[in-house]
Amino acid sequence: MGSPSGPPFDPDDPDRERRERDTEPIPRIGPDDGPGYGAGPGLSDGPSLSDDVGYGDGPGYAGQGRSGRGWIRDPEASYQPPQISEDELAGLRADATGSAPRRVLPLEDEPSSLVARYLFPTERYRGEWKRHWIHLTNPLLIGVAATFVLGYLSGFLAGQDVGALTTIAVLLWFAVMGWVAWKVADWWYDRFILTNKRVMVVNGIVTRKVAMMPLVRVTDMKYEQTPTGRALNYGTFVLESAGQEQALREIKNLPNPNELYLRVVEEMYEPQAVEARLGKEADEAKADDGA
């Protein structure tokens, strides 16, 4: 019998215990060796690591569960994407330039009494707009200047004991204020009107003027904005019709020119889209009233 391999036993060897611990065989763990590794829910036949949809033979992973190969991701497993409706996606899409979608402001339901008299029954009303308040700049500035100048002049003349001139200055101030009030009233009754068939401008208090152009005859349309117009959101519209001079060609100081431009162009080239949007808004309003 040969001698056993390895160094002779030495009770004083400091590395003896480490060598014995490293060479000790690992015991085999059976199913009954305690709750930690037995038949409990941790690492056994329970639902945690079984053949269910999470780690078994479901659509997410291939293999044969506990008795087969390791868990392998099946690249051809079916994936069900979330269901998102077109209405939900419409508000998230961007156009070709990357900007957010345009929100169209709601159209007015009914024309005012000032405008209704100029619409015929088969015409669909799309909106009316007063000119921007910048249209009143000159009359208001004249009224303010007249107030200061004639007020100072009246006080000066009153101290000079010339009552007739003072009365004239006061009457002149009333005349200027009356003219300013007339301009404000004329601005209030001045309307730009859009229907599904034409564009119109109605103005005048005593002498009423009505100018219109059919949309089918508009060959070119543009709007212009000065730096002040861009800052205050107003512009001038220019309409062309087959190169002819028209009664309705240039409309100054219209508010929200970009929105108004898009409305007119949409009415000219996509009338079905306008009708569809208005019909949808009407249905939603009815649904809200019913709720």
User: C-alpha angle 113/117/123, rounded to 5°?
Assistant: 110
Residue by residue, pLDDT tens for the chain (291 residues) are 444 555 565 666 666 666 766 666 655 555 555 444 444 444 445 444 444 444 444 444 444 444 444 555 555 555 565 565 665 555 445 444 455 444 445 555 688 888 999 998 889 899 999 999 999 999 999 999 999 998 888 888 777 777 788 888 889 999 999 999 999 999 999 999 999 999 999 999 999 999 989 998 888 888 999 999 999 999 999 988 876 666 788 899 999 999 899 889 888 888 877 777 777 666 666 676 665
Q: Of all helices (H) and strands (E), which one includes residue 12?
A: none
Contact of 75 with 62, CB cutoff 8 Å:
no
Task: Give phi and psi for 280, each to the nearest 5.
Answer: -65, -40
What pLDDT does residue 84 have? 57
* pTM given for the model: 0.58
Return the amino acid letter for 89: L
Task: Give phi and psi for 238, each to the nearest 5.
Answer: -125, 120
Q: How far apart are CA 18 and CA 1, in angstroms?
A: 28
Contact of 204 with 189, CB cutoff 8 Å:
yes
Query: Which candidate, 255, 257, 276, 277, places its Cα nearest to that of 265?
Result: 257
What pLDDT does residue 28 have? 56
Q: How far apart are CA 55 and CA 171, in angstroms?
A: 97
User: C-alpha angle 275/120/273, rounded to 5°?
Assistant: 10
Q: Of all helices (H) and strands (E), which one includes residue 213?
A: strand 209-214
Alpha helices per DSSP H over 84-136: 86-90, 113-116
Please tell me the number of Cα atoms within 13 Å of 141 on its side-chain side.
Answer: 6
Around Cβ 172, how many Cβ atoms within 10 Å? 15
User: C-alpha angle 247/250/255, rounded to 5°?
Assistant: 130
Q: Which two tokens stand for residue 229?
A: 């117009």
